[in-house]
């Protein structure tokens, strides 16, 4: 009997490419679907001679039930989609199309293939300005179209479970970081911004006073959580995934050993993100393994990856976030 097949959408992207690594190590054949708008083929080049890996450049919304790439698939991990806050405010139709309807197309392909488990990459942004630590039963309050689109994608996943019996689980990711995080596109996650600034010898642009904290989790621990959600008889569940140990932006800046400059605090941003990870610990026996300090050290060992990323400064950030200040508001 041959190796089982896993399909990874967004498998050339940040978390998806690490998922590919893990699945190959676990003895799977892996089919990657990615349109390369956010992912990079060089995230997979260390597997270029691996016959167990295939790549398919496709738009999610073009996928149809019966697609050959899904034939005999045992698992589907759905990471593909578009991220970032400000572009979602500016282009809500695109976000709803890709992140909701794209998810529905993948669900239908998975259903037609009779997969054993479908695991969805959800976002903790669905909680809005949440009470902390945040449990999975916290009220849902998406603040911008990206958050709404990811939550509606998750709702579709659970609807396919309820109506069609598709075995699914969902992982609500808090603040993933690590090697291969995105280097292009809109102003976004703090790590990519800071690493490019460090390479250029520029000060790190700290939003507000830097005391805000984020529940950073290293990407290989995120991939392990997705695998745990697939490798279980439990189905129809959502799980928070973070370290359960928030770190301040000031601490990150200190670990990067750079000068800093402060820029205005933005409305609608939480002072703290903090995942209550009791459920995934209890039900799936998953634990974060890599400390924040060790994770940052691994990123710094690979800092050249961010050499071609956009270089942001006070002025360009102000321009890029103008829409944010126009539409976002604090509760």
The string of pLDDT tens digits covering residues 4-45 is 999 999 999 999 999 999 999 999 999 999 999 989 999 999
The residue from 120, 144, 146, 305 that is catalytic is: 146
Which pLDDT band holds residue 328 (cuts at 50, 70, 90)?
confident
Domains, the chain, ranges and CATH? 5-176+217-241 (3.40.50.720), 178-214+245-273+290-315 (3.90.25.10)
Q: Residue 239: which of 309, 158, 310 has the closest Cα?
A: 158
Q: 327 an active-site residue?
A: no
CA atoms of 86 and 323, how far apart (whole Å):
7
Phi, psi of 32 (to 5 degrees): -100, 130
* DSSP letter (8 states) at residue 202: P
- Estimate the share of the chain in helix, then strand, then coil, as percent rounded to the nearest 5: 40, 20, 40
Provide the β-strand partners of residue 73. Answer: 5
CA atoms of 107 and 168, how far apart (whole Å):
10
Where would I find the H helices in 3-144?
14-25, 85-90, 92-96, 102-113
Per the CB < 8 A criterion, the answer to whether 77 and 226 are in contact is: yes
User: For residue 213, what is the enclosing H or E element?
Assistant: strand 213-214
Cis before 133? omega within 30: yes
pLDDT on residue 183: 80
CA distances from 88 to 47, 81, 105, 162 (A): 33, 12, 21, 29
* pLDDT greater than 70 at residue 331: no
The pTM for the full model equals: 0.97
* pLDDT greater than 90 at residue 1: no
Counting every residue written for the chain, the total comes to 331
* pLDDT greater than 90 at residue 294: yes
């Amino acid at each position: 009997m041959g190796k089982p097949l896993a399909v990874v959408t967004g498998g050339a992207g940040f978390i998806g490419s690490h998922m590919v690594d893990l699945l190959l190590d676990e003895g799977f054949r892996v089919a990657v679907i990615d349109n390369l708008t956010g992912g990079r083929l060089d995230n997979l080049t260390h597997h270029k001679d691996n016959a167990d890996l295939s790549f398919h450049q496709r738009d999610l919304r073009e996928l149809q039930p019966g697609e050959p790439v899904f034939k005999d698939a045992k698992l589907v991990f759905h990471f593909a989609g578009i991220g970032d806050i400000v572009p979602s405010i500016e282009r809500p139709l695109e976000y709803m199309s890709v992140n909701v309807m794209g998810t529905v197309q993948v669900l239908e392909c998975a259903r037609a293939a009779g997969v054993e488990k479908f695991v969805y990459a959800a976002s903790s942004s669905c909680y809005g300005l949440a009470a902390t630590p945040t449990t999975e039963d916290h009220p849902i309050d998406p603040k911008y179209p990206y958050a709404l689109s990811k939550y509606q994608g998750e709702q579709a996943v659970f609807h396919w479970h309820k109506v069609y019996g598709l075995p699914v689980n969902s992982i609500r990711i808090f603040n993933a970081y690590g090697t291969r995080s995105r280097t292009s596109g809109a102003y976004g996650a703090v790590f990519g911004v800071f690493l490019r600034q460090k390479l250029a010898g520029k000060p790190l642009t700290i939003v507000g006073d830097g005391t805000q904290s984020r529940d950073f989790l290293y990407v290989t621990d995120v991939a392990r959580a997705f695998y745990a959600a697939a490798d279980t008889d439990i189905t129809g569940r959502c799980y928070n995934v973070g370290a359960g140990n928030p770190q301040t932006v000031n601490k990150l800046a200190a670990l990067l050993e750079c000068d800093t400059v402060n820029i205005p605090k933005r409305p609608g941003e939480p002072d703290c993100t903090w995942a209550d990870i009791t459920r995934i610990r209890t039900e799936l026996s998953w634990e974060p393994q890599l400390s924040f300090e060790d994770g940052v050290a691994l990123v710094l060992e690979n800092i050249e990856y961010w050499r071609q990323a956009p270089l942001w400064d006070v002025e360009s950030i102000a321009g890029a976030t103008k829409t944010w200040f126009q539409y976002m508001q604090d509760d």
